[in-house]
Amino acid sequence: MRFVADEESKKQYKKFLEENEKCNFQQSLEWAEVKKPNWIPEVILAEDEEKNIIGSLCVWIRKIPIFGNIMYAPRGPVCDVHDLAILKQLTDGAKELAKKYKAIVLRIEPDVESEDQVFRDIVTNLGYNIKDDAKDFMDEIQPRYVFRLDIKGKTEEEVMAGFHQKWRYNIRLAGKKGVTVKEGTREDLKEFHRIMMETGARDGFIIRPLEYFEKMYDNLAPNHMKLLMAYYEGKPISGVIPIFYGNKTWYLYGASSNEHRNLMPNYLLQWEMIKMAIARHDDIYDFRGVSGVVDETHPQYGLYRFKKGFGGKFTEFLGEIYIPYKPLTYKLYKFSEKLFRNLRQIKMNLKNGKKENKKTQKTEQKNKQEKANKQ
């Protein structure tokens, strides 16, 4: 076991990551750069007897006021997740980092499906706890439920044949109505972010600042990130950001204007991203998160239905595995984290409620005015 410590080991790690079937962009050094300076990245490498890399875990370290440092590894480890010896090397490496940074916990959200009992048994024997009860986006950092589309070795025609008939119709409709898709530049991120703010206000979620997306672009584009914008009559009406790494493409961010939604630009944008993934000869196109509450009355059911229509597999991940190095401190931290998330959601709900009231008042005033004009 060793750590990535110089340029040569960085090159070795990048090559290993991109060639491994468990590759995930959130385990990459490029993504770690996006998360700096709030998070400090450390990469643990597991080796065989010939010093070849056989596993890795990119861990982010962050200082939490009052509580101390936490360690977090999104979608790690990258390895044969049924190999006890590899997982033990990586766990031992994390323990060394915990001592170095005086960390209170190691949290991992692995790219492992919920029914994988072999992995569950191994990590339990290594001292991990398993948290597998999350259902909604707010319950964990990474979405526990996603749709994944198997595109390995398939043509565009074969992939599209798996879409719901209405979805195929909507893709063609967007083109017939005059919607066009163009690859955007760094400068176009301003328009994307403006539409993203519109989306967040409509759907009730918090939007990252423009600088975050610019930082993403600077570290990931053009090899690992694109910006695609949909236009109608020369005006941008929707945008998406796909991420490419190894054998996968991820739909990471999407934004849509309140105007011209009937032109179905979002369906066309999804198809353009899927075509990119096919051209790259990827194995998987990942639509990312949906709620695990599959109920038509749920506020996020529309997102679930939209992604489902493209024919992907509804995938339930294991959830979170964690080792508390300072159990009492970690319990206090988790309580405060949950409280903060709840307060943030209440604040967002109140904000959206005020906007909805203003909208209702404007509608009522408009109706009264129209009624008065008729009299």
For the chain, the structural domain boundaries read 2-133+319-349, 152-282
Domain 2-133+319-349 in CATH 3.40.630.30: yes
Nearest by Cα to 58 from 21, 100, 19, 16: 16
Task: Please tell me what DSSP assigns to residue 22.
Answer: T
pTM score: 0.89
Options 3.40.30.10, 2.60.120.560, 3.40.630.30, 3.40.640.10; CATH for 152-282 is 3.40.630.30
For 28-85, give the DSSP string: SHHHHHHHTTTSEEEEEEEE-TT--EEEEEEEEEEEETTTEEEEEEET--EE-TT-HH
Give the C-alpha separation, 88 to 77, whole Å: 11
pLDDT at 347: 62
pLDDT at 299: 86
* Domains 2-133+319-349 and 152-282 alike in fold: yes
pLDDT at 205: 81
pLDDT at 360: 44
pLDDT by 10s per residue, the chain, length 375: 999 999 999 999 999 999 999 999 999 999 999 999 999 999 999 999 999 999 999 999 999 999 999 999 999 999 999 999 999 999 999 999 999 999 999 999 999 999 999 999 999 999 999 999 988 766 778 999 999 999 999 999 999 999 999 999 999 999 999 999 999 999 999 999 999 999 998 888 889 999 999 999 999 999 999 999 999 999 999 999 999 999 999 999 999 999 999 999 999 999 999 999 999 999 999 999 999 988 899 888 999 999 999 999 999 999 999 999 999 999 999 888 877 666 665 665 565 555 545 554 554 565 555 555 555
CB 180 within 8 A of CB 231: yes
